[in-house]
Structure 1
Amino acid sequence: MFKKLKEKKGFTLVELIVVLVILAILAALLIPALTGYIDKAKNKSVIAETRQTVMAAQTLYDEEYAKVKTGGTVSFGSEDGDKKIALATVAKLAEVDTANVISIAVDKDKNKISELVYDNGQKKCTYKPADSATNTDGDYNVETSTRK
């Protein structure tokens, strides 16, 4: 009277499509979150490199300033010289690429680095302690690099 029903093995096409749609939705939610984390990591990396460069520049400035007579000044430039520190020397001490250190300015009254621009080709970071309220990360402001 009754015929035996065949046993089903495997998934139907509808079940497979439903699983694929769920995976696509999850991927659509995760990708923007992951790119945000990647961008934050790149920002932190360029800030760390800039901080290293600021510390190297301040160290070299302090050493050179100690050698100068009272009332003398020290500056940063393209070449080492009398009372002048080369950007390449700062980059070497900071262990960063020489081309990445764009400029360094000094507050002569406080004998401190007042501005340093670091650009690694992807991100540009400017150290400026006076602008802490407007910077993205304390004394450091990160933006997309325009350098090629």
Structure 2
Amino acid sequence: MSAQRQTTGGKQDVQKTERQKGLHLVELIVVLVILAILAALLIPALTGYIDKANYEKVIASTRQVVMAAQTDTSEAYANIEGGKFTVLTLSKDSTPKLGDVVKLAEVGTVDDKGTITYKNGITDVTVTITDNGHVSKVTVTQNGFKCTYDENTSTVTNPLYKSGNYAVEKVAAAAGTGK
């Protein structure tokens, strides 16, 4: 029986084992095509998550500025005689100062001359305060996105993303920057 196996089936067994040592080119191509299809299905979903994370990042920075501005404004409002602010947009010369708000919100630093240096990709911050000491509007520009907080409702039409009173829009590239 063993002699018969060697002469008839032995040759076929050897051919099968030699053939199955590795993947054939066709099998390898099929595996790569399947992986490419899976990647093509996942990439749009992942970019959606990345965009949402960028929107949430600029909203978080704006919330920090709103809280810091309201804290600083409440303190300044308590010290004003007559109990009224004039409606103002914060600057380095206003009371409270924009630099104080930026430092308190931890979105930038202020040197001895009052020059504000923003961090974490923030390029601009504006804060508007009503005459009764409420922060009514805040805008923060960060990494190509501008988030607007409006005390009543967002004034941004067609935002990319909205969360409560916060609306995110894409900042148009400045002319001549090449971006």
Cα pair 1:91 1:101 within 8 Å, conserved: no
Q: 1:132 to 1:124 in 2, by over 3 A?
A: closer
Equivalent position to 1:107, from 130, 137, 140: 130
Question: Which residue of structure 2 aligns with residue 70 of structure 1?
Answer: 82
Structure whose alpha-carbon radius of gyration is higher: 2
Question: Which residue of structure 2 aligns with residue 35 of structure 1?
Answer: 47
Secondary structure, aligned partner of 2:129? strand
Structural mapping, 1:129-144, within 5 Å: 129-131=151-153, 136-144=162-170
- Quote the offset at 1:129 in angstroms: 2.7
Distance 1:56 1:146 in 2: 27
**Residue type matched to 1:41 in 2?**
A
- Quote the offset at 1:101 in angstroms: 4.2
- Quote the offset at 1:41 in angstroms: 0.9
**Residue type matched to 1:56 in 2?**
A
Distance 2:128 2:173 in 1: 20
- Quote the offset at 1:144 in angstroms: 1.6
Give yes or no for the alignment of 1:21 onto 2:33: yes
Q: Alignment length, in residue pairs?
A: 145
Q: TM-score, normalised by structure 2?
A: 0.71
- Structure 2, unpaired ranges of 5+: 1-6, 109-115, 175-179
- Structure 1, unpaired ranges of 5+: none
- The percent of aligned pairs where both chains have the same amino acid is 47
Give yes or no for the alignment of 1:94 onto 2:127: no
Q: TM-score, normalised by structure 1?
A: 0.85
Cα pair 2:90 2:128 within 8 Å, conserved: no
Cα pair 2:84 2:131 within 8 Å, conserved: no
RMSD: 2.3
Distance 2:84 2:151 in 1: 24
**Residue type matched to 1:131 in 2?**
T
Q: 1:141 to 1:129 in 2, by over 3 A?
A: same
Distance 1:147 1:56 in 2: 29
Cα pair 2:85 2:130 within 8 Å, conserved: no
- Quote the offset at 1:86 in angstroms: 2.2
Give yes or no for the alignment of 1:56 onto 2:68: yes
